Amino acid sequence: MREYEEKKKISRYLYSKPSLAVLIILIMLLTKATWNVYGKYKESSKSLALSTRELKDLENKENDLTIKVEALETNRGIEAEIRDKYPVTKEGEYMVVIVDNASGSKNQNIQSKESLWQKFLDLFR
Protein backbone atom coordinates (compact mmCIF):
# COMPACT_ATOMS: atom_id res chain seq x y z
CA MET A 1 0.00 0.00 0.00
CA ARG A 2 2.84 2.31 0.78
CA GLU A 3 4.27 1.81 -2.68
CA TYR A 4 0.97 2.79 -4.19
CA GLU A 5 0.79 5.92 -2.05
CA GLU A 6 4.36 6.87 -2.96
CA LYS A 7 3.59 6.47 -6.66
CA LYS A 8 0.48 8.56 -6.19
CA LYS A 9 2.54 11.34 -4.54
CA ILE A 10 5.00 11.29 -7.40
CA SER A 11 2.27 11.41 -10.03
CA ARG A 12 0.53 14.26 -8.15
CA TYR A 13 3.79 16.16 -8.10
CA LEU A 14 4.47 15.52 -11.81
CA TYR A 15 0.96 16.45 -12.88
CA SER A 16 0.72 19.55 -10.71
CA LYS A 17 0.35 22.93 -12.41
CA PRO A 18 3.82 24.28 -11.45
CA SER A 19 5.64 21.20 -12.68
CA LEU A 20 3.65 21.22 -15.94
CA ALA A 21 4.48 24.91 -16.37
CA VAL A 22 8.17 24.14 -15.86
CA LEU A 23 7.97 21.30 -18.38
CA ILE A 24 6.23 23.52 -20.94
CA ILE A 25 8.86 26.25 -20.49
CA LEU A 26 11.60 23.64 -20.83
CA ILE A 27 10.02 22.31 -24.03
CA MET A 28 9.73 25.84 -25.41
CA LEU A 29 13.41 26.56 -24.66
CA LEU A 30 14.48 23.30 -26.29
CA THR A 31 12.32 24.06 -29.32
CA LYS A 32 13.86 27.52 -29.66
CA ALA A 33 17.37 26.07 -29.36
CA THR A 34 16.57 23.45 -31.98
CA TRP A 35 15.14 26.12 -34.29
CA ASN A 36 18.29 28.24 -33.91
CA VAL A 37 20.50 25.25 -34.71
CA TYR A 38 18.36 24.53 -37.77
CA GLY A 39 18.78 28.14 -38.94
CA LYS A 40 22.53 27.89 -38.55
CA TYR A 41 22.46 24.60 -40.47
CA LYS A 42 20.64 26.27 -43.37
CA GLU A 43 23.11 29.18 -43.40
CA SER A 44 26.11 26.88 -43.32
CA SER A 45 24.72 24.71 -46.12
CA LYS A 46 24.23 27.84 -48.26
CA SER A 47 27.77 28.95 -47.43
CA LEU A 48 29.07 25.50 -48.34
CA ALA A 49 27.30 25.60 -51.70
CA LEU A 50 28.67 29.08 -52.39
CA SER A 51 32.18 28.08 -51.36
CA THR A 52 32.01 24.95 -53.52
CA ARG A 53 30.94 27.04 -56.52
CA GLU A 54 33.73 29.54 -55.89
CA LEU A 55 36.23 26.69 -55.56
CA LYS A 56 35.17 25.26 -58.93
CA ASP A 57 35.44 28.70 -60.53
CA LEU A 58 38.90 29.21 -59.06
CA GLU A 59 40.01 25.76 -60.20
CA ASN A 60 38.82 26.54 -63.74
CA LYS A 61 40.63 29.88 -63.62
CA GLU A 62 43.77 28.12 -62.38
CA ASN A 63 43.57 25.64 -65.27
CA ASP A 64 43.18 28.48 -67.77
CA LEU A 65 46.11 30.36 -66.28
CA THR A 66 48.23 27.21 -66.28
CA ILE A 67 47.52 26.72 -69.97
CA LYS A 68 48.40 30.36 -70.68
CA VAL A 69 51.63 30.12 -68.68
CA GLU A 70 52.61 26.94 -70.51
CA ALA A 71 51.95 28.71 -73.80
CA LEU A 72 54.08 31.68 -72.73
CA GLU A 73 57.00 29.36 -71.95
CA THR A 74 57.47 28.73 -75.68
CA ASN A 75 58.75 31.21 -78.25
CA ARG A 76 55.66 30.74 -80.37
CA GLY A 77 53.38 31.51 -77.42
CA ILE A 78 55.31 34.67 -76.54
CA GLU A 79 55.17 35.81 -80.16
CA ALA A 80 51.42 35.15 -80.36
CA GLU A 81 50.78 37.12 -77.15
CA ILE A 82 52.85 40.08 -78.37
CA ARG A 83 51.04 40.07 -81.72
CA ASP A 84 47.66 40.02 -79.96
CA LYS A 85 48.46 42.96 -77.70
CA TYR A 86 50.58 45.15 -79.98
CA PRO A 87 50.46 45.91 -83.73
CA VAL A 88 53.95 44.59 -84.54
CA THR A 89 55.46 42.67 -87.44
CA LYS A 90 58.65 40.71 -88.00
CA GLU A 91 61.32 41.82 -90.42
CA GLY A 92 60.12 41.22 -93.94
CA GLU A 93 56.43 41.16 -92.96
CA TYR A 94 53.95 43.90 -93.84
CA MET A 95 50.87 45.03 -92.01
CA VAL A 96 47.67 45.69 -93.89
CA VAL A 97 45.05 48.01 -92.39
CA ILE A 98 41.59 47.70 -93.92
CA VAL A 99 39.35 50.74 -93.63
CA ASP A 100 35.63 50.35 -94.22
CA ASN A 101 34.22 53.22 -96.32
CA ALA A 102 30.64 52.66 -95.19
CA SER A 103 31.45 53.37 -91.56
CA GLY A 104 33.28 56.56 -92.53
CA SER A 105 30.28 57.89 -94.46
CA LYS A 106 27.98 57.14 -91.52
CA ASN A 107 30.21 59.15 -89.22
CA GLN A 108 30.14 62.05 -91.66
CA ASN A 109 26.32 61.89 -91.80
CA ILE A 110 26.11 61.96 -88.02
CA GLN A 111 28.48 64.90 -87.85
CA SER A 112 26.48 66.79 -90.49
CA LYS A 113 23.24 66.14 -88.56
CA GLU A 114 24.83 67.40 -85.40
CA SER A 115 26.11 70.47 -87.14
CA LEU A 116 22.62 71.16 -88.54
CA TRP A 117 21.20 70.86 -85.06
CA GLN A 118 23.86 73.16 -83.72
CA LYS A 119 23.08 75.66 -86.47
CA PHE A 120 19.41 75.52 -85.54
CA LEU A 121 20.19 76.07 -81.84
CA ASP A 122 22.55 78.91 -82.71
CA LEU A 123 19.65 80.80 -84.28
CA PHE A 124 18.05 81.16 -80.84
CA ARG A 125 21.18 82.28 -79.02
If the chain, 125 residues long, is cut into consecutive pieces of 10 residues, what is the mean pLDDT of each piece?
76 85 95 96 97 97 95 90 85 80 56 66 75
Q: Give pTM, 2 decimals.
A: 0.47
CB-side neighbour CA atoms (13 Å) of 83: 11
Distance CA 39, CA 26 (A): 20
The pLDDT value recorded for residue 48 is: 97
Are the CB atoms for 95 and 87 separated by under 8 Å? Answer: yes
The pLDDT value recorded for residue 70 is: 93
CB count within 10 Å of CB 81 equals: 13
Alpha carbon separation from 48 to 41, 59, 82, 93, 125 (Å, rounded): 10, 16, 41, 55, 65
Distance CA 100, CA 110 (A): 16
The pLDDT value recorded for residue 108 is: 55
Alpha-helical (H) ranges within the chain are: 2-14, 17-72, 75-85, 101-123
The domain limits of the chain are: 2-103
